[in-house]
Structure 1
Amino acid sequence: MRRAFKITFRILLVLVVSAASLGVWKREEIFRLLAVNSLFAEEKIVGNFSNMEGAFETTPLARGTKAISPLPQGGEMVLPAGTDQWLKDRAVTSLLILKDGQIRHESYHLGTAPNDRRISWSVAKSYLSALFGVLIDEGAIASLDDPVTKYVPSLKESAYDGASIRNVLNMASGVTFDEDYLDYDSDINRMGRVIALGGTLDEFTIDLKESFATPGDTWQYVSIDTHVIGMVVRGATGRDVPSLLSEKILSPLGLERDGYFITDGADVAFVLGGLNFTTRDFARFGQMIAQNGSYGGDQIVPADWIAESTRPSAPTADGKIGYGYQWWIPQGSHEGEFMARGVYGQYIYIDQTRNVVIMSTGADRKFREPGVNDGNIEMFRKLVSIL
């Protein structure tokens, strides 16, 4: 596979040189594809994750006109033994800990800074879940048991024909999709190249035809399910996800900076992992969720949706990590303990019973090694225990 990658890279390099000399109109797309191919390279990953607009098309997420909401400084906590080694081993780029809405610890690493807008990867899925809860409450979507094709007729005769909204929220669609980030030819990496070259995710999704299980029977984490949720939102409302998210979720939070979404060639947001915000602004979202959807005097997301979406309702295997509606529930969790999680070390860990939110970003190229996620959860629990 490494040899094939080198050959592919050389071909791309030739294309770039040719495009530069001939003035070919696809030059920008080729440069973006080259950027995607080196996105996770050891020497570039930290900088890339703070500058995703260099590899992809993007659309802004307006912070709105509300004054910046305070994140008051509480007493600085003493981090437990082993934290420094964990920060190094996991290539953590930022760590922000809130207790009762106050900052108890904030630090930035590997050359990152508070103003960096970091890519969240699959943490973005939990934002879409929150938006979905608002739309259900408003009546834009009638029922979680509606078939997705009710709102997205173009998915008829695709692998999603027969799947319900609940199935895709639970990652239980049964659709065949290879999520291996380390395999150059996997579906998830192929999808990334489609975006870089200006292709459309809707067409990519419609073209999926294979299933491995009946919808609702089996849990398997397939990120394309989240794109289908976005398609349902657009079909039900006639609006794009970024404008809805800005209006209904982001504006009431009083963010410090505008954020942005990665988009495909049709300017459709990469809702399954393309959200970029500062660490503090991610933490504001987490604090709102920890407070059952309430923030700054506003009920932003219905409290009953927070409760329903963060319980382990998906058909995951016994004794393994649980999953709700685009939220993870750690093994052995207590009531109100759940998290948003993205590849390479992105987390919003929430413990509602102790009113603690931990926001962590990273560039951990070893994130898939056995025990890494469990070790991160153990560290988060250790941090909570001393607050």
Structure 2
Amino acid sequence: MRTFGKWLGRVLLALILAAVVVGLWKREEIQRLWAVNTLFDEGRIVQNFSHMDRAFRTAPLPRGSGAPSDLPHGAAHDLPEGAERWLEERAVTSLLVMKEGAIRYEEYFQGTGPDDRRISWSVAKSYLSALFGVLLDEGAIASIDDPVTKYAPMLTGSAYDGASIRNVLNMASGVTFDEDYFDFNSDINRMGRVVALGGTLDDFAASFTDRFADPGATWQYVSIDTHVIGMVIRGATGRSVTELLAEKILAPLGLERDGFYITDGAGVAFVLGGLNFTTRDYARFGQMILQDGEYGGAQVVPADWIAASTAPSAPTAPGKTRYGYQWWIPSDAHDGEFFGRGIYGQYIYIDRPAGVLIVATGADRRFRDTGAFEQNLEMFRRIAQSL
């Protein structure tokens, strides 16, 4: 019995030591997985969204050597009646309103500030659309009707084989992908764990083999479509999206402070939702889009691409919010009204005829509630009309 006790003690000690060794060896992965699994927890979400580099690998997006031009200020403007309730209900963390290129309102909430680099979530898709338009104009990509496999051959044999670039720009690939943010085992949440644990999104995209519809036949929001656009860009140019975005979009705009992209284990940018900038830097991008791609006297993005990408070209269902090339258009939009949108309350809203740009960041854990989006759109429109 005494011999067995000694043996059992040695076994337990060995198991404890092994656990400690594995814990140290996998410490970073364990920390990142824990951070991802608690990313949206009440009490943590606001600070987490300002410090995403604590949870994920990142690649820097430098502000460059030149200081950004200051965003001019116009006459201060009060928000419409009911805005205070909206700010609270929708857990808004920052709100910046511009008209005719001048700031009319800027405020930060829930302990955030102007230096916070807030996560874009899917507003990043609209940035990628702008970059794509530049590369198309430069001739790096021949046509949006080319098959994605022309530039991303590793997708041959996957569900993306036969889809065109236009299809993925429109979120009309037909690829079966579960976008349920509240299902732990959904594809969108599996993708988050791939990023956190150092996997590769190229392999993840190539692993999908099923379609629910033929490419171009119908619209369904499929975030991995945007990663495929990134694969096309990298295949066409031989360069990273991080480098290209910094050079062709960010450098002409200038940044308040360095931004960063979340990346996967191979250092590939999480292009479908991984940008992190200050609210003012999101405003610089939005103002450039509002101005038909022009900023600071330079044509950053071709005007014809801005027009094409913000037009409702996707095969969305009648009466539903419409979609272009990674931009949203309200179902009842007037000409020149469109927006970029990210989960938990991230928005770049543009009303071009009114000359109004609104940037909102949030930590809205009820963003999927019935009426939440409509409430946001109504407030943006009321703000624009009040200026």
Aligned counterparts, 1:106-145, within 5 A: 106-145=106-145
Measure the CA separation in 1 of the matches of 2:145 and 2:171: 14
Please name the residue that 1:369 is paired with.
369
Give ranges in structure 2 of 5+ residues lacking alignment.
1-14
Please name the residue that 2:87 is paired with.
87
Measure the CA separation in 2 of the matches of 1:288 and 1:148: 28
**Alpha-carbon contact 1:169-1:226 (below 8 Å) kept:** yes
Secondary structure of 1:70's match? coil
Please name the residue that 2:44 is paired with.
44
Measure the CA separation in 2 of the matches of 1:65 and 1:377: 37
Please name the residue that 2:196 is paired with.
196
Please name the residue that 1:4 is paired with.
none
Question: Scaled by the length of structure 1, what TM-score is found?
Answer: 0.95
**Alpha-carbon contact 1:16-1:31 (below 8 Å) kept:** no
Deviations 1:92-143 (A, max 9, x none): 0000000111110000000001000000100000000000000000000000
1:21 shift after superposition: 5.5
Measure the CA separation in 2 of the matches of 1:114 and 1:242: 23
Measure the CA separation in 1 of the matches of 2:328 and 2:125: 11
Distance verdict in 2 for CA 1:284–1:378, change over 3 Å: same
Secondary structure of 1:287's match? helix
Q: Aligned-residue CA RMSD in angstroms?
A: 1.4
Question: Scaled by the length of structure 2, what TM-score is found?
Answer: 0.95
**Alpha-carbon contact 1:260-1:275 (below 8 Å) kept:** yes
Distance verdict in 2 for CA 1:104–1:163, change over 3 Å: same
Measure the CA separation in 1 of the matches of 2:372 and 2:84: 16
Give ranges in structure 1 of 5+ residues lacking alignment.
1-14
Distance verdict in 2 for CA 1:176–1:22, change over 3 Å: closer
Measure the CA separation in 2 of the matches of 1:300 and 1:69: 15
**Alpha-carbon contact 1:63-1:251 (below 8 Å) kept:** yes
Aligned counterparts, 1:145-160, within 5 A: 145-160=145-160
1:371 shift after superposition: 1.0
1:256 shift after superposition: 1.0
Question: Aligned partner of 1:62: which letter?
Answer: P
Deviations 1:193-242 (A, max 9, x none): 01111000000011111110000001000000000000000000000001
Distance verdict in 2 for CA 1:255–1:231, change over 3 Å: same
Please name the residue that 1:11 is paired with.
none
Please name the residue that 2:218 is paired with.
218
Measure the CA separation in 2 of the matches of 1:366 and 1:56: 24
Question: Aligned partner of 2:206: which letter?
Answer: I
Secondary structure of 1:354's match? coil
Distance verdict in 2 for CA 1:78–1:183, change over 3 Å: same
Please name the residue that 1:68 is paired with.
68
**Alpha-carbon contact 1:240-1:268 (below 8 Å) kept:** yes
Question: Aligned partner of 1:223: which letter?
Answer: S
Please name the residue that 2:339 is paired with.
339
Q: Which moved more, 1:25-34 or 1:239-248?
A: 25-34
Measure the CA separation in 1 of the matches of 2:57 and 2:22: 23
**Alpha-carbon contact 1:65-1:251 (below 8 Å) kept:** no
Please name the residue that 1:209 is paired with.
209
1:254 shift after superposition: 1.8
Residue identity (%): 70
**Alpha-carbon contact 1:20-1:27 (below 8 Å) kept:** no
Secondary structure of 1:215's match? coil
Secondary structure of 1:261's match? strand
Deviations 1:14-57 (A, max 9, x none): x9997555554221111100100000001100000000011100
Aligned counterparts, 1:343-358, within 5 A: 343-358=343-358
Measure the CA separation in 1 of the matches of 2:68 and 2:140: 30
Please name the residue that 1:174 is paired with.
174
**Alpha-carbon contact 1:19-1:27 (below 8 Å) kept:** no
Secondary structure of 1:360's match? strand
Question: Aligned partner of 1:152: which letter?
Answer: A
Question: Aligned partner of 1:170: which letter?
Answer: N
Measure the CA separation in 1 of the matches of 2:71 and 2:21: 52
Aligned counterparts, 1:235-384, within 5 A: 235-384=235-384
Measure the CA separation in 2 of the matches of 1:18 and 1:253: 51
Distance verdict in 2 for CA 1:262–1:19, change over 3 Å: farther
**Alpha-carbon contact 1:66-1:252 (below 8 Å) kept:** no
Question: Aligned partner of 1:52: which letter?
Answer: M
Deviations 1:321-360 (A, max 9, x none): 0000000001210111000000000000001111110000
1:33 and 2:33 matched: yes
Question: Aligned partner of 2:120: which letter?
Answer: S
Measure the CA separation in 2 of the matches of 1:362 and 1:198: 27
